[in-house]
Structure 1
Amino acid sequence: MTVHTPVPAARPAAGHDRPQVTELRLSAFAGHRGAVLPFGALTFLAGPSGSGKSSALRAYEALARLGGGAELAEVFEDPAACVPERARADGQRRRGFRIGCTVEGPAGTVRLDLAVQVEPELRVVGERLTRGDLVLLETALRDPGRPVVQAAWHTAGAAPVTRAPMPDDRLGTALVPLRVAGKTEGQRLVLAAAEQVVVALRSVFPCDPRPGRMRAPVPAGRMGAGRLLGGCDNLAEVLWRTRTECSVRHALLVSAVREGCAGPVGDVYAEEARDGSMQAYVDRGDGVRTPLARLGDGELRYLALALVLLTGPGVLAVDPVVEVPAAYQTLTVVADGLDRRMDARQARALGELAARMCARGHIRLVGAVRDPAWATAAGASVVDLDRDGTT
């Protein structure tokens, strides 16, 4: 694995920053063993087919969903695919995988590590939340016959730790606010660290625009209640909303579309048909308009990703952390195949737009790309994966 960082990733200022995932660890996951992937404000994963770009992003998305409180079975629909192929079962026929991340924020540098058993049954068998050498939360499977793990968290009170059972199908860190009282300084540290990790993980928007679905009109009754879905199926609905709500951002979108779509672009808009459905168009000027259904796949993916970069949590279908002010959150867009079906011009324009938006600090982007050349030119941190470097 090789990391190219043309622009050093900004380190958060103590006490005033937004929680951010700065490192993904794939200790044993799919084709990865001992992989450590650093994340900056704008990070692209590059490498040949089969190098593990998609599986790395899948692990990141899984952590995000677990941070939101989802159960293991919801997150890992095919858990066997997450187990390294050459992983051998132990004496009790158990096999699994291990993933983790590092989160920087007001609570300092916090590490989360998770061990998941897949065979003979899917369950959490170990979790550790640490800050430096201090273990804040640790869980372990003590009795395989019970659907719980034994948890111990830092107390620093009359007793150094508190012990209690936790479910074996969820991330314990996400359950900390329900279990830790916060009466001692140690407990408050645990709460702060857990909140930091959960906020960073929940502020993730997995995005993979699907041109085939974006071409169809958005049906009456709408699909996402005005919030863009991860596949961007309801693009027309969201274009109608964003055009009416913020003329400045819409003008930026139109300018970006000119860079990535063929022909003149005077506007991008949606209108409602008699049956209540929404259809989007590109205004070519002089009364000529092109339905999005006629655009190429690369143009549609470019348009959708540009819209994502120019909006935010209020427009995207993400699970907001309502108990934390928006000023203390940073949205992270996770995009597999970011430059899929795009030509070099479109990829370069999208990279430049991503660099400008990520530099403002309200959004981060982690994407997998085919060609790292344009990504490096955009000023991104590029992590080059190869078939042998991380497996």
Structure 2
Amino acid sequence: MDLTGGPALARTPRPDTVPHPRPTPPPSQAPAPDTRRGTRPGQGPGPAPGTRTEPDATPRTESETESETDPDTTVRTAVRAETEPGSTDGGVKAGVDPIGTGASPGAGVRARPRTRTGGEAGARPGAGSGAEAEPPAVPRPVVTELRLSAYGGRRGATYPLGPVTLFTGPSGSGKSTVLGAYEALARLGAGDPLAEVFPDPAAHVPESARPDSQGRRGFRIGCTVDGPAGPVRLDLAVQAEPELRIVGERLTRHGRTLLTTALRDPGRSTVQAAWLTAGTTPVTRAPLPDDLLGTALLPLRVAGATEGQREVLAAAEQTVVGLRSLFPCGPVPDRMRAPVLPGEGRLLRDCGNLAEVLHRTHNACPRRHQRFAAVAGAGCAGPVTGVGVQRLPDGTVRALLARGTRPATPLGRLGDGELRYLALALTLLTGPGVLAMDRIAEVPDAMQCLTLLTDDLDRGLDARQTAALLALTTAIAADGHIRLVGSAGAEAAAQARRTEGVTVVDLTP
């Protein structure tokens, strides 16, 4: 029995390092010339087909985006863009003209949006003019607030999210609803179509929502993503009946509206979008598909040639990075017991390939594997001196706990609580490269913050395992690379309240 990997499991080791972030130029530095083909320095590639710009240079201070529905329905959104102090441009005002007959959104709009890592355009608000100070570290984009304005059983609900946040409450209080809304926003930010994110949209419409004269009902959700561009708010209105579509979207930064979309012609599968330009033409208008998140499409549509466009890009890309850096994790012990075939070694959502991932980390990430072996003893009964991997005659692999002088224990013989503890601990100790998630390859890992989303964190865990897992979570979250948002029962919530660094949110039915 091989507990150390042995020659049969040997792979070419790869460095267990994190790439260094690229240096970010100070805000005062002028932007680099645009060297893309077909452009000159200071000019973008021009608007896409079907895009038109507003010739009026009058500052806009108010805007309203509606879905042409009754005020009592949940798919109506009102947008008011406040002018920043000292600013001469209040943001974007959505026009009242119907969608034109220009070209429909071009091919490739379903591609994963590209992202950038540059800082915001211009100085941050509140920057002083005194002696030059040491620049602070650039914060990683993270979701710091979740809003369920009208979603399921929640109305007008706002939930702040810290490095470790646990929702608790009795059955039916909406814990899974809150986590589901977060995952839905993350999938939309990754470019998934609306129908795939909400296969049963009517289930998310509040029961008290009454249809308008045309039988339309819907729901509204939103979030705030903090990062280099400061807090950026995203609000979304979705029509669920009779046809699923996005009818309103708003992106704001410091009270300034950067993007609005509105449904103007129900007969078309597009919404009218308007985003800030702040150049000779202050606003750009164009149709966008009504089944994709407009914010995720902006990096594909905005040239970044003006200060306003760069502000829009910085806010949109920060929002996309913050949303996409999410990994939903729900370990299923029954799927973790059987041996598995070696593969690429990326941990699945149900952690059913735990042995395969341990096979990879044992050979390619020895430091992480050693740390995991040290943590395993805190959540498993009996002595644990290491975690090994054994290759079986049929080519599959299984993981085992080394017991010192005692025989090793296959993971398949462990209890449900022990398996869930090991799976969650391994998830916390690994990065995006070891998880089966849509990685943001354009952004270095050192400039991303992974958020783990897990429902029923303490399911099957005893008090000792829960305490050990909370201690591990807060210790790792303190480094700023990983956050956790989940739900827990009453006993685990009581332990979490006594654990420094954990935010507990109480929900009521």
- TM-score strictly above 0.5: yes
Partner of 2:363: 244
CA-based RMSD of the aligned residues comes to 1.3
Structure 1 counterpart of 2:442:
323
Residues 216-235 of structure 1 mapped to structure 2, 5 A cutoff? 216-218=338-340, 220=341, 222=343, 225-235=344-354
Residue 57 of structure 1: aligned partner = 179
- Structure 1 position 92, deviation (Å): 1.2
Corresponding residue number in structure 2 for 1:277: 396
Helix, strand or coil for the counterpart of 1:23? strand
Q: Does the Cα contact within 8 Å between 1:14 and 1:108 map onto a contact in 2? A: no
Give matches, 1:96-245, under 5 Å: 96-218=218-340, 220=341, 222=343, 225-245=344-364
Q: 1:14-29 to 2 correspondence within 5 Å?
A: 16-29=138-151
SS of aligned partner of 2:384: coil
Among 161, 165, 170, the residue aligned to 1:43? 165
CA contact (8 A) 2:342 2:397 kept: no
* Aligned residue in 2 for 1:377: 498
Could you tell me which residue of structure 2 aligns to residue 260 of structure 1? 379
The residue number in structure 1 matching 2:24 is none
Give, in angstroms, the shift of residue 221 of structure 1. 5.8
Cα deviations by residue, 1:47-93 (Å, 9 ceiling, x for unpaired): 11111111100000011111000001111122121111221111111
Q: Which runs of 5+ in 2 are unaligned?
A: 1-134
More strand by share: 1
Q: Which residue in the other structure is 1:307 paired with?
A: 426
Query: Which residue does 2:213 correspond to in 1?
Result: 91
14-23 vs 338-347, which deviates more?
14-23
Residue 278 of structure 1: CA displacement? Answer: 1.6
CA distance in 2 between partners of 1:176 and 1:52 (Å): 33
> What is aligned with 1:5?
none
Identical counterparts, % of pairs = 64
Are the aligned partners of 1:69 and 1:171 in contact in 2 as well (CA < 8 Å)?
Answer: yes
One-letter code aligned to 1:383: V
What letter matches 2:498 in structure 1?
A
Q: How far apart are the structure 1 equivalents of 2:166 and 2:342?
A: 37
Matching of residue 333 in structure 1 with residue 455 in structure 2? no
Distance, in Å, in 2 between the alignment partners of 1:82 and 1:14 is: 41
Provide the residue aligned with 1:361 in structure 2.
Answer: 480
8 Å CA contact 1:29–1:82 kept in 2: the answer is: yes
Quote the offset at 1:251 in angstroms.
2.2
Deviates further, 126-135 or 239-248: 239-248
Whether the 8 Å contact between 2:342 and 2:356 is mirrored in structure 1 is: no
Q: Structure 1 residue 385: deviation in Å?
A: 0.9
Deviation at 1:378, TM superposition (A): 2.2
Q: In the TM superposition, what is the alpha-carbon distance from 1:15 to its structure 2 partner? A: 6.8
> What is the CA–CA distance in structure 1 between the aligned matches of 2:388 and 2:234, rounded to whole Å?
43
- Matched residues in 2 for 1:215 and 1:84: separation? 40
Does the CA-based 8 Å contact 1:14-1:105 persist in structure 2? Answer: no
Residue segments in structure 1 that go unaligned for 5+ positions in a row: 1-12
Report the secondary structure of 2:475's partner residue.
Answer: helix
What is the CA–CA distance in structure 2 between the aligned matches of 1:221 and 1:365, rounded to whole Å? Answer: 28
Residue correspondences, number: 372
Between 1 and 2, higher relative CO (CA 8 Å, sep ≥ 6) is seen in 1
Cα distance in 1 for partners of 2:453, 2:485 equals 5
Aligned counterpart in structure 2 of residue 288 of structure 1, from 407, 431, 435: 407
Q: C-alpha displacement at 1:247, in angstroms?
A: 2.7
Q: Is the deviation greater in 72-81 or in 190-199?
A: 72-81
User: What SS does the aligned partner of 1:165 have?
Assistant: strand
Change (3 A) 1:52 1:176: same
Q: Which amino acid aligns with 2:200?
A: D
The amino acid across from 2:497 in the alignment is T
Match of 2:204 among 82, 86, 98: 82
Kept after mapping to 2: 8 A contact 1:15/1:105: no
Choose 278-287 or 30-39, whichever is displaced more: 278-287
- Greater C-alpha Rg: 2
Tell me, what secondary structure is at the counterpart of 1:112? strand
Mapped to 2, the partners of 1:26 and 1:173 lie a distance apart of 19
Range with greater deviation from structure 2 (262-271 or 42-51): 262-271
TM-score (norm 1): 0.93
Work out which of the residue numbers 467, 474, 477 in structure 2 matches 1:348: 467
**Distance in 1 of aligned mates of 2:356 and 2:137:** 39
Question: Per-residue CA shift, 1:266-321, capped at 9, x if unaligned?
Answer: 11222221222121111122251111111111110000000011111111112111
